[in-house]
Chains A and B, each alone.
Chain A
Amino acid sequence: MTELAAGSLAGALAPRRRLVLLRRLAGHRSFQIGLILVAALALAAIFAPLLSDHDPSAMKVRFRFKPPSAAFPFGTDNFGRDIFTRVLYGARVSLWIGLAVAAMSGLLGAAFGILAAQFRRLDPFVMRVMDALMSFPAILLALGVTAALGPRMESVIIALTVAYVPGGVRLVRASGLVVRELDYVEAARISGASNARIMLRHILPNSISPLLVHVTFVFAYAILAEAALSFLGVGVPPPTASWGNIIAEGRDYATQAWWVMLFPGLGITLAALGLNLLGDGLRDVLDPRLKAQG
């Protein structure tokens, strides 16, 4: 079979197959719950200014340590700041960091994984660097890199990307190594397809599904890790609200004002839960090996 024929065959099948996958996803229980949770949190983050007329860092000492009430649904902290508003704005920071880390580690993972699979000389070098990065516990690596780059949001994104890139690289390389041995890819190579064409038309599409599943879980891990870094005081610096640093600030008076640290923690849990459910759904539907088991 020529490469052209294989390509057009795949092209003809693609829309119907895509429809089947989408329908199966839409009917998957965890995917549904995950999607609702993540969409609700994302919308709350985007429309934060519409949902609350407070300023997230406005201090009103008169109202300090107010328990949850109609005026302050989640209560106030030691500066009289509205926790509901801070959690909303914190969602922006935490979700943005998670999304950025998922996207960047996915892109870099795809790039290095494909290069390692296609150019066999490059492979040992890339993979040994990934092994080395994986030798550091992820949180510790992120802690070291953020410390070196300074406590800023960008540092947190870079640090967590560095920590989560190796997983993506390994995944894409592994599926790339299988794909490049397939007959039709061999045929494409013999009929003169360039390296770039093989990488982009054959290896990349075949690794997209597992990478998508992986990246969804990275999104969840990154939100948890950002919270941990900010809690330790090396993440997003105050007064900018992130779910992690609201908990860190609320910790000192957790016994007298439990609401300060309760609600941002619930935010983190719901976000990670939603993303893990999304990932579970995507994996069940996209990974045919596990399909029969449910």
Chain B
Amino acid sequence: MWRLISYRVLQAAPVVLIVSILAFFLINLLPGDPAVVIAGDQATPEAIAAVRHNLGLDRPLIEQLGIWFWHLLQGNFGASLMLNQSVLSAMVERLPVTLSLTMLSLLITLPIGVLAGAVAAYYRRTWIDSAIMSLALLGVSAPAFWIAILSIIVFSVGLRWFPTGGYAPFLSDPLLWLRSLVLPAAMLSLFQIGFLARMTRSSMLDVLSQDYVRTARAKGLGEWRTVGKHAFRNALILIVTAIGILLSTAIGGSVVIEQVFALPGVGRLVVQGILARDYPLVQGVMLIYGFAFVLINLAVDLIYTLADPRVRYD
């Protein structure tokens, strides 16, 4: 067991290294002279030289990479050009918004997605299955930002149930916090619910056709206990792995949803950064998210290993 855990942790170490190198090359990937791109087309040669010097682009590439790693070791993820602020502090300021949004969305997604998938699997090949799976298919096919804009028109502008945008921190006004997040979180959940329902259904079907479920039925165990205890519990293992993917798509989706609802989160920061050519900011945010997901994926893998004794790595 410990060997297994240490093996997985050791495997994550090179991934962290590669994530940092990939993020580093994001700026050096800029076609032409990155300093010109960042300073803008109308910049004077002096301004371009200043940008080049500030970002250390006038040094040899390998030296830049060395400095990049040295900074990372000190917890320095670079500084934003447009905000005059370190990337880390800019991100920490906005993280509560994004985390509130994604956590609320997961809170909506998990019960609905799992239940819908399980019910569809149990009533497979009936109209209940078809109805649930058609809705799930629609969820993974309709663009979330488009449905989100339509939902603003209907629920915020038309029915006035929700504010059209804006955000208040939980501690200053919990009611407004919830009111401003419910619609965005619901919209963010549409794809996730569809995805999770489809995944749960197929893994439940897998389990329901297993020998031990047949045995449980054959020995006279009630239907509720057979499905609830044997089948559902086994299907849950697969859902543990789904969490990693769901979190990743939720963070990705939050970039678009925050833009639609004007929520001042990390996603909105990234988009502003890109439009303002603030590449160090974009680079830093990607790096921090990259690191976070290396850890999340590692945690998911370990939980999965502990939860399912059949999983072993060679």
Residues of A in contact with B (beta carbons under 8 Å apart): 124, 128-129, 131-141, 143-145, 147-150, 220, 224, 227-228, 231-234, 244, 247, 251, 254-255, 258, 261-262, 265, 268-269, 272-273, 276-277, 280, 290, 292-294
Q: Which of A137, A251, A261 contacts B249 (CB under 8 A)?
A: A137
Judge whether A138 and B248 touch: CB under 8 Å: yes
B1 within 8 A of A: no
Which residues of chain B are near A137, meaning CB under 8 Å? 248-249, 251-252, 289, 293
Q: Are A294 and B125 in contact (CB under 8 A)?
A: yes
Binds A, one of B58-66, B72-80, B88-96, B279-287: B279-287
Q: Which of B142, B259, B282 contacts A269 (CB 8 A)?
A: B142
Given contacts A232-B255, A258-B153, contact A128 B14 (CB under 8 A): yes
16 A-B contacts (beta carbon < 8 Å):
A132-B15, A132-B19, A135-B19, A137-B252, A140-B289, A144-B286, A147-B282, A148-B26, A150-B31, A228-B143, A247-B143, A251-B149, A254-B152, A265-B142, A268-B146, A290-B206
- Contact between chains at A135 and B137 (CB < 8 Å): no
A289 to chain B, nearest CB (A): 8
* Residue B205 CB within 8 A of the other chain: yes
A231-B274 contact in complex given A132-B290, A140-B286, A149-B29, C-beta closer than 8 Å: no
**B146–A233 CB distance below 8 A:** no
A290 near B202 with CB under 8 A, answer yes
Of all chain B residues, which has the CB nearest A228? B256
> Given the complex of chains A and B, what is the CA–CA distance between A277 and B157 in angstroms?
34
What string of 1s and 0s marks CB contacts (under 8 Å) between B189-214 and chain A? 00000000000001001100100000
Set of chain A residues within 8 Å of B141, measured between Cβ atoms: 220, 224, 269, 272-273, 276
Question: How extensive is the interface on chain B, given as a class?
Answer: 35 or more
Shortest Cβ distance from residue A222 to the other chain B in the assembled complex, whole angstroms: 12
Point out the residues of chain A lying under 8 angstroms from B142, CB to CB. 265, 268-269, 272
Residues of B within 8 A of A294 (CB): 124-125
Q: Tell which of A138, A148, A254 has the most Cβ of chain B within 10 Å.
A: A148
Among A231, A255, A269, point to the contact of B256 (Cβ < 8 A).
Answer: A231
Q: Establish whether residues A148 and B30, one from each chain, have CB atoms under 8 Å apart when the complex forms.
A: yes
B153 touches A140 (CB 8 A): no
Q: CA of A113 to CA of B271 in the docked complex: distance in angstroms?
A: 33
Assembly CA distance A249 to B144 (angstroms): 17
CB–CB B255/A135 < 8 A: no
| Cross-chain contact of B15 among A128, A143, A220, A280 (Cβ < 8 A) | A128
Q: In the complex, A113→B224 CA distance in Å?
A: 43
Complexed CA–CA distance, A258 and B143 (Å): 16
B22, CB-defined interface residue at 8 Å? yes
The residue in chain B whose Cβ has the minimal distance to the Cβ of A30 is: B137
Interface of B is mostly: helix
4 A-B pairs with the lowest CB-CB distances in the bound complex, closest first: A137-B252, A139-B252, A265-B146, A132-B18
Contact of B290 among A136, A234, A262 (CB under 8 A): A136
Residues of A within 8 A of B153 (CB): 254-255, 258
Say yes or no for B145: interface residue by CB 8 A criterion: yes
Give the contacting residue for A224; candidates B18, B143, B205; CB below 8 A: B143
* Most A C-beta atoms less than 10 A away, residue of B30, B145, B209: B145
**In the bound complex, what is the Cα–Cα distance between A133 and B150 (angstroms)?**
33
Known A-B contacts A138-B248, A149-B29, A228-B256; A128 and B18 likewise in contact (beta carbons under 8 Å): yes
Q: Measured between C-beta atoms, what is the minimum distance from B18 to chain A in Å?
A: 4
- Asked if A139 and B256 make an inter-chain contact with CB atoms under 8 angstroms apart, the answer reads yes
- Nearest-neighbour CB distance to chain A for B190, whole angstroms, equals 11
Name the interface residues of B232-254: CB closer than 8 Å to any CB of A. 248-249, 251-253
B294 cross-chain contacts in A, Cβ below 8 A: 131-132, 135
Residue B270 is within 8 A (CB to CB) of chain A in the complex? yes
Does B115 touch A at the CB level, under 8 Å? Answer: no
B150 CB, min distance to chain A CBs, angstroms: 8
Assuming the contacts A139-B253, A140-B252, A265-B146, asked whether A133 and B279 have C-beta atoms less than 8 A apart, the reply is no
Residues of chain A contacted by B107 (CB below 8 angstroms): none
The residue among A136, A273, A277 with the most chain B CB atoms within 10 A of its own CB is: A136
